[in-house]
């Protein structure tokens, strides 16, 4: 059943690309990242997220239009991610902070809904869907106490809002903001606490 669904999805996307209007863009997104501690059953440490590191996402994206105002959005992006966790030993009350950095190949799978023109050549869009992230590298200190190994994959929900301006010669620029809420425990090999990625992304791009 899974193979049939995957084949059908592949054919649908292929047909959409073949018969629909397609726009290719280059996107760059400064991001603010935090780790969301969703459960803590640790007998030794109180754990909180602290700080909000600045990271970035960059790469090509494609809008495949099914209608003038509806498009399927995907791409292949290079994404940096990371966060800080603060641990407090429950007996000694000593605190410490650990930094974690990750690099992913990110594949967005979203729907973009465009408004009619609100001004000359200008539209507002909303974006709904998710990202599939494959980890390609991480920077975790070998002496880390809280998180010593990260999951190789992440999936997050995405909601965004932006504006697009189309030039008379056909190219366009866009800018927007999106929130991405991680669904998978970023900590591999342990269930005494869970931490998930939260990202606020400031998106800018140029459409060819």
Instruction: Return the CATH number of the domain spanning residue range 22-207.
Output: 2.40.160.20
C-beta atoms surrounding 89 within 10 Å: 13
Residue 113's pLDDT is what?
A: 98
- Residue whose structure tokens are 């408004």: 115
Specify the pTM. 0.84
Residue 47's pLDDT is what?
A: 86
Residue 21's pLDDT is what?
A: 86
CA 14: distance to chain centroid? 24
Residue 43's pLDDT is what?
A: 66
What's the rounded Cα separation, in Å, for the pair 65 and 127?
13
190: nearest Cα among 147, 154, 153, 155: 147
Residue ranges covered by each domain of the chain = 22-207
Dihedral, 168, 170, 175, 177 alpha carbons, nearest 10: 130
Determine which helix (DSSP H) or strand (DSSP E) holds 120, and give its type and residue range: none
What's the rounded Cα separation, in Å, for the pair 54 and 29?
10
Residue 44's pLDDT is what?
A: 81
Residue 170's pLDDT is what?
A: 87
The low-confidence residues of the chain, meaning pLDDT below 50, are: 1-2, 4-5, 8, 12
């Amino acid at each position: 059943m899974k193979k049939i669904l995957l084949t059908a999805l592949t054919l649908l996307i292929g047909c959409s690309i073949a018969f629909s209007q397609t726009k290719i863009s280059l996107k760059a997104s400064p991001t603010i990242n935090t780790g969301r501690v969703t459960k803590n059953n640790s007998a030794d440490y109180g754990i909180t997220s602290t700080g909000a590191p600045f990271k970035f996402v960059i790469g090509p994206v494609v809008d495949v239009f099914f209608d003038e105002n509806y498009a399927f959005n995907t791409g292949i992006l290079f994404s940096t991610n990371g966060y800080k966790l603060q641990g407090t030993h429950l007996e000694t009350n000593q605190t410490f902070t650990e930094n974690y950095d990750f690099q992913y190949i990110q594949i967005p799978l979203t729907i973009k809904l465009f408004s009619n023109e609100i001004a000359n050549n200008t539209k507002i869009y909303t974006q709904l869907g998710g990202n599939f992230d494959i980890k390609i590298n991480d920077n975790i200190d070998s002496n880390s106490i809280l998180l010593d190994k990260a999951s190789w994959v992440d999936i997050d929900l995405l909601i965004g809002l932006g504006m697009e301006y189309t030039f008379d010669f056909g190219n366009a620029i866009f800018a927007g903001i999106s929130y991405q809420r991680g669904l998978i425990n970023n900590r591999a090999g342990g269930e005494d606490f869970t931490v998930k990625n939260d990202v606020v992304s400031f998106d800018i791009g140029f459409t060819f």
